[in-house]
Chain A
């Protein structure tokens, strides 16, 4: 018998500015996580995501990006965070959907798939790998040098298997 899933685990809507958004004590009852975010920054900035407060393990990423004029791609093998939406603006108009695959497994590195759309800039697809076999129990979301503005929303879903 089919099992209803894609359950909302937590939603955050900022009423005031905030430097960091944390989803902690994430339930291990699911197989995948989906994070939907509509971030706004107080100063245009990049959004970063750290897993389980791990500041040591690398998060390798490959991306491709198109802005209506050209397409670019790149590889990052040095960061210890996942680079999420980049150049997030100071007004609403950008959103991202991130899939954390097999986040509760302990026999493999963790994979992330992200689609990020900012109508005034372009669209970006990213895949990332946190070089750790640990289950994801916490997501810490922050900007490189700014804060999230009021109106920022984020919702975390659990997908069972």
Chain B
């Protein structure tokens, strides 16, 4: 049976492609020590799209546990984002911001102890040099109440036509815990 990157296409609503060996693991990081930054660099440009999959737990004050995302180490105001989020209390809320210093993937409900925040990020046409880069995500965490749970469907843009060669997941002051896992996959086109 051919390998079909359906997980990738799930969020886009597009159909899958057929053909063997179209979805490849590039690299995985499993933390052996706490850190506030997880970076994947020297990403090969031989794929069409990237997918990042993770299950993360944070430590530190809850208000500091926002999960943030950057491409190519760009710290300028070159990011924009739109989101649809639900906590379980009432209707989902929508939001959007331009000229951001990063893409905020998830808010302060970020996982604690044995309850991870899990999700995936698709980076589309990351190797292109003629278009700005688009990401889309589905990320969730469920604790025992709506005040500490969040489901987020997000789209974001990096206003730069450069090929994506690295990405960084980080928190401003809190840290990712030992055992946290982030994996990078390449999808052929």
Binding site for B on A (CB under 8 A): 2-8, 11, 31-32, 34, 36, 60-64, 66, 70-77, 97, 99, 101-102, 105, 107-109, 111, 113, 115, 117, 125-129, 133, 157, 159-161
Contact = CB atoms under 8 A, between A and B. Distances in A.
9 contacts: A34-B7, A75-B146, A97-B10, A99-B118, A105-B181, A108-B114, A115-B10, A115-B11, A159-B53
Nearest to B47: A2
A25 B26 CA distance: 27
B107 interface: no
Contacts of B26: 2
Given A3-B24, A111-B116, A127-B142, A102 B149 contact: no
Contacts of B89: 73, 75
Contacts, number: 169
Interface residues of B, number: 57
A101 B6 CA distance: 15
B87 A75 contact: yes
Contacts of B87: 62, 73, 75
B138 A101 contact: no
B142 A129 contact: yes
B4, B21, B44, B88: most-surrounded residue (chain A CB, <10 A): B88
Contact of B90 (A31, A73, A113, A128): A73
B4 A101 contact: no
Contacts of B159: none
Contacts of B30: 161
Contacts of A2: 24-26, 44, 186
B118 A71 contact: no
A6 to B, nearest CB: 4
Nearest to B46: A2
Nearest to A99: B7
Contacts of B86: 62-64, 73-74, 125
Nearest to B85: A64
B55 A4 contact: no
A145 B4 CA distance: 32
A125 B151 contact: yes
B25 A111 contact: no
B115 A4 contact: no
Q: Which 5 A-B pairs have the closest CB atoms?
A: A127-B140, A75-B88, A111-B118, A73-B86, A101-B118
Nearest to A97: B10
Given A11-B1, A113-B140, A133-B114, 13 more contacts: A2-B26, A6-B3, A7-B3, A60-B149, A61-B142, A62-B146, A63-B86, A64-B84, A99-B118, A101-B54, A105-B55, A125-B86, A125-B153
B24 A62 contact: no
Interface string B1-23: 10111110011010000001111
Given A3-B24, A4-B24, A60-B144, A129 B115 contact: yes
Contacts of A66: 92
B181 A102 contact: yes
Contacts of A60: 142-144, 149
B149 A62 contact: yes
A102 B7 contact: no
